[in-house]
Chain A
Amino acid sequence: MHDHLLSLLIWLPIAAGIVVLLLGDRNIVAGRWFALAASLVTLALCVPLVHGFSSHTAAMQFVEKAAWIPRFHAEYGLGVDGISMPLVVLTAFMTVPVIIAGWQVITQRPAQYFAAFLIMEGLMNGVFSATDALLFYFFWEAMLIPMFLIIGIWGGPRRVYATIKFFLYTFLGSVFMLAALIYMYLKAGSYSIAAFQALPLTLIEQRWIFAAFLLAFAVKVPMWPVHTWLPDAHVEAPTGGSVILAAIMLKMGGYGFLRFSLPIVPDACRELDGLMITLSLIAIVYIGFVALVQQDMKKLIAYSSIAHMGIVTLGAFLVYAIVASSGTTLDAGMGLDGAMVQMVSHGLISGALFLCVGVLYDRMHSRQIADYGGVVNTMPIFAGFMVLFALANTGLPGTSGFVGEFLVILASFKASFWYSALAALTLILAAGYTLWLVKRVVFGPVANDHVAKLTDLNGREFLILGVLAVAVLLLGVWPEPLLKVMEPSIQHLVAQAAATKIPV
Chain B
Amino acid sequence: MMNLHTFAAALPEMYLAAAICVVLLFEAFVGERRPGSTGTLTLLLLVIGAGLTVQFADVTQRVVLFDGSYVADPLAYVLKLAGFLTVAVGLLYSRTYLQNRDILKGEYYALSLSALLGIFVLISANSLLTVYLGVELLALSVYAMVAFDRESGVAAEAAMKYFVLGSIASGMLLYGMSIVYGLTGTLSLDGIAVALSAPHNLGVILGLTFIVVAVAFKLGAVPFHMWLPDVYDGAPTSVTLFVGTAPKIGYFALALRLLAHGLAGVTVDWAAMLVPLAVLTLIVGNLVAIAQTNIKRMLAYSTIAHVGFIVLGFASGTADGYSAALYYTLVYVLMALGFFGVVILASRKGFEADQLEHYKGLYRRDPLLALAMAMLMFSTAGVPPFVGFWAKLRIIQALWETQHLWLVVIAVLMSVVGAFYYLRVVKLMYFDEAPESLPDTVRSFGVRLALGINAAAVLVLGILPAPLLDLCARVLH
**Is the pairing of A and B real?**
yes
What residues of chain A have their CB less than 8 Å away from a CB belonging to chain B?
A: 67-72, 137-139, 141-142, 144-145, 148-149, 152-153, 159-160, 163-164, 167-168, 171-172, 175-176, 178-179, 182-183, 185-186
Cα distance A228–B416 when bound, in Å?
18
Count contacts on B: residues with CB < 8 A to the other chain: 30
Which residues of the other chain, A, contact B420 by a CB distance below 8 angstroms?
164, 168
Known: A141-B389, A145-B378. A69 touches B469 (CB 8 A): yes
The secondary structure that dominates the A interface is: helix
Contact between chains at A149 and B419 (CB < 8 Å): no
Cα distance A148–B415 when bound, in Å?
17
Contact between chains at A149 and B430 (CB < 8 Å): yes
What residues of chain B have their CB less than 8 Å away from a CB belonging to chain A?
A: 378, 383-385, 389, 393, 396-397, 400-401, 408-409, 412-413, 415-416, 419-420, 423-424, 426-427, 430-431, 464-466, 469-470, 473
How many residue pairs between the two chains, A and B, have CB atoms under 8 Å in the bound complex? 80
Q: Which of B401, B419, B430 contacts A186 (CB 8 A)?
A: B401
Cα distance A456–B450 when bound, in Å?
53
Cα distance A192–B305 when bound, in Å?
32
Cα distance A178–B383 when bound, in Å?
12
B269 CB, min distance to chain A CBs, angstroms: 26
Which residues of the other chain, A, contact B385 by a CB distance below 8 angstroms?
138, 142
Known: A142-B384, A152-B430. A71 touches B412 (CB 8 A): no
B384 CB, min distance to chain A CBs, angstroms: 5
Known: A176-B412, A179-B400. A72 touches B384 (CB 8 A): no
Contact between chains at A164 and B427 (CB < 8 Å): yes
Contact between chains at A159 and B431 (CB < 8 Å): yes
Contact between chains at B400 and A71 (CB < 8 Å): no
Which residues of the other chain, A, contact B378 by a CB distance below 8 angstroms?
145
Residue of B at shortest CB range from A123? B385
Cα distance A322–B408 when bound, in Å?
37
Cα distance A185–B431 when bound, in Å?
39
Contact between chains at B416 and A160 (CB < 8 Å): no
Cα distance A160–B360 when bound, in Å?
13
Residue of B at shortest CB range from A69? B466
Residue of A at shortest CB range from B419? A171
Contact between chains at B431 and A178 (CB < 8 Å): no
Known: A70-B466, A72-B469, A152-B431. A175 touches B393 (CB 8 A): no
Cα distance A179–B424 when bound, in Å?
25
Contact between chains at A71 and B415 (CB < 8 Å): no
Which residues of the other chain, A, contact B413 by a CB distance below 8 angstroms?
172, 175
Known: A72-B469, A148-B423, A178-B396. A171 touches B384 (CB 8 A): no
Known: A72-B469, A141-B383. A175 touches B423 (CB 8 A): no
B423 CB, min distance to chain A CBs, angstroms: 6
Contact between chains at B384 and A179 (CB < 8 Å): no
Q: Which of B400, B419, B465 contacts A183 (CB 8 A)?
A: B400
Contact between chains at A179 and B419 (CB < 8 Å): no
Which residues of the other chain, B, contact A137 by a CB distance below 8 angstroms?
384
Q: Which 8 A-B residue pairs are closest in the complex by CB-CB distance?
A: A175-B412, A152-B431, A69-B466, A138-B384, A172-B416, A142-B385, A141-B384, A142-B384
Which residues of the other chain, B, contact A142 by a CB distance below 8 angstroms?
383-385
B99 CB, min distance to chain A CBs, angstroms: 32
B368 CB, min distance to chain A CBs, angstroms: 12
Contact between chains at A182 and B396 (CB < 8 Å): yes
Which residues of the other chain, A, contact B464 by a CB distance below 8 angstroms?
68
B353 CB, min distance to chain A CBs, angstroms: 21
A155 CB, min distance to chain B CBs, angstroms: 8
